[in-house]
Amino acid sequence: MTAEIITIGDEILIGQIVDSNSAFIAQNLNKIGISVHQITSIEDDKSHILQTLEEASVRADVIIITGGLGPTNDDVTKNTLCEYFDDILVNNEEVLEHVEELFAKHISTPISNLNREQALVPSKAHILFNKYGTAPGLWLKKGEKVFIAMPGVPFEMKMMMELEVIPKLKKEFKRSFIFHKTIKTYGLGESAIALRIEEWERNLPVSIKLAYLPALGKVRLRLSGKGENEEELKLAIEHEFEKIYPLLEDIISDYSGDDDDITLTINKLLVAKKCFLAVAESCTGGEIAAEFTANPGASNCFKGGTVTYATQSKLDILGVPAGLIEKHSVVSAEVCEAMAKNVKKMFKSDYALATTGNAGPTKGDSDAEVGTVYISLATPEGVFSKKFILGKSREQVVKKAVAKAFEMLLKELNGK
């Protein structure tokens, strides 16, 4: 069973927003055995929408549309669907009641006719309840093809997928199974990995696909399969995993297969050791702490940290000796190690990461070249540092520094 996703809204086509909805929808369709054949983003334009609906319905069984259901004039999806299904808009009492209740309880401005018109829906549509917003979702059929329209506001769409769309798809269709297993590696490029596993890859059964997903110093390898028998499919993929594992053992950072973020892997290792982390960030500006605490359960292994952005704050807050900064400059291994040691003591943690560097675009309180970053790791046994040159783009420098910091900690926790 295949689906296509159509996202409607000029804001995607002018690059004002990134389309994150499609990834969420695709993930959740995959989980119930529906693969996504194509994702198409188009503007709020009636004729383009009609053409895209027609093309998608030739290729896929389920067409999922997001966006263009709002109350304002630039939203044309509902009227366009009416034209496509040769339908008219009718008032839906239940939706109207919900919109009125939302306004009465949660919205400070008075309800208007524009809001009430959200209750106008195509007469042939089954309504998908929007618990968190005023635009209802729509489920329409043309022959055997299903068309599902959802609002584009990410949170509303996500809740509607979870509470309405996925359960209804599961109930109405017999689907096959899709299974992915992801192996995360670090320290080797994709072509070097490809050479190592060349023979294994050549012998991979046609039913299992291998994909390489390269990113900053990390390559994820994904094994994917689709089949009618869930157990057989999983076994086949696990079987291939057991063959690839010894070939890559020294560079695998995680093979739980659930595509965990590196922070989650670290979280689990710290909790298993009953250890806590603290961080002292300068050039990474809080991003290490923010990424680490994005996982629920961070409180079981994370004490906290400091963002000492200004040089003076490194003295005042972290107690880095002024003489050390004067002697080695604020961007140096010595200062970074002092930050790590001191933050570990302050927060009474077992491990501590520290960063100091120059993310650019101009030089800061030191003469270090833009892109120079020191990362230090204090452990129960001592402290050590690495120096990195991470390019000229501020965003990239921060991103890479955060990745490197987590890699250093992961290696240490893995005893490598």
| Positions in 310-329 near a second copy (CB under 8 A) | 310, 312-313, 316-317
Nearest residue to 6 (alpha-carbon basis) of 32, 42, 44: 42
Cβ-based nearer residue to a second copy, 94 or 316: 316
Number of residues that bind a second copy (CB under 8 A): 111
Q: Return the residues of window 357-376 that contact a second copy according to CB under 8 A.
A: 359-362, 364-365
From residue 333 to residue 352, the character string flagging contacts with a second copy as x (rule: CB under 8 A) and all else as - is -------------xxx----
Q: Return the residues of window 76-95 that contact a second copy according to CB under 8 A.
A: none
Q: Are 66 and 81 in contact (CB under 8 A)?
A: no
From residue 17 to residue 56, the character string flagging contacts with a second copy as x (rule: CB under 8 A) and all else as - is xxxx-xxxxxxx-x----xxxxxxxxxx---x---x--x-
Assess 195 for contact with a second copy (CB under 8 A). yes
Assess 288 for contact with a second copy (CB under 8 A). yes
Question: Interacting stretch for a second copy, rule CB under 8 A, among 80-88, 211-219, 232-240, 373-381?
Answer: 211-219
Put residue 387 in one of left, alpha, beta given phi > 0 → left and psi -120 to 50 → alpha: beta
Find how far residue 47's CA is from the centre of its chain. 33
- Of 54, 88, 101, 189, the residue at the interface with a second copy (CB under 8 A) is 189
Nearest residue to 351 (alpha-carbon basis) of 392, 310, 326, 382: 382
Q: Residues 12-51, buried b or exposed e (16+ Cβ, 10 A)?
A: beeeeeebebbebbbebbbebbbbbeebbbbbbeeeebee
Tokens standing for residue 235: 């076994």
Q: Are 168 and 233 in contact (CB under 8 A)?
A: no
Cβ-based nearer residue to a second copy, 146 or 193: 193
- Of 293, 321, 324, 386, the residue at the interface with a second copy (CB under 8 A) is 293
- Of 88, 90, 104, 107, the residue at the interface with a second copy (CB under 8 A) is 107
Nearest residue to 318 (alpha-carbon basis) of 330, 300, 302, 327: 330
- Of 124, 126, 328, 394, the residue at the interface with a second copy (CB under 8 A) is 394
Tokens standing for residue 358: 């120059």
The length of the chain is 416
State the Cα–Cα distance between residues 163 and 74, nearest whole angstrom: 28
- Of 210, 252, 275, 324, the residue at the interface with a second copy (CB under 8 A) is 210
Nearest residue to 397 (alpha-carbon basis) of 331, 320, 339, 315: 331
- Of 57, 66, 77, 115, the residue at the interface with a second copy (CB under 8 A) is 115
Cβ-based nearer residue to a second copy, 124 or 180: 180
- Of 32, 120, 166, 224, the residue at the interface with a second copy (CB under 8 A) is 224
The alpha carbon torsion through 294, 276, 307, 259 (nearest 10 deg) reads: -30
Question: Interacting stretch for a second copy, rule CB under 8 A, among 77-85, 89-97, 164-172, 296-304?
Answer: 296-304
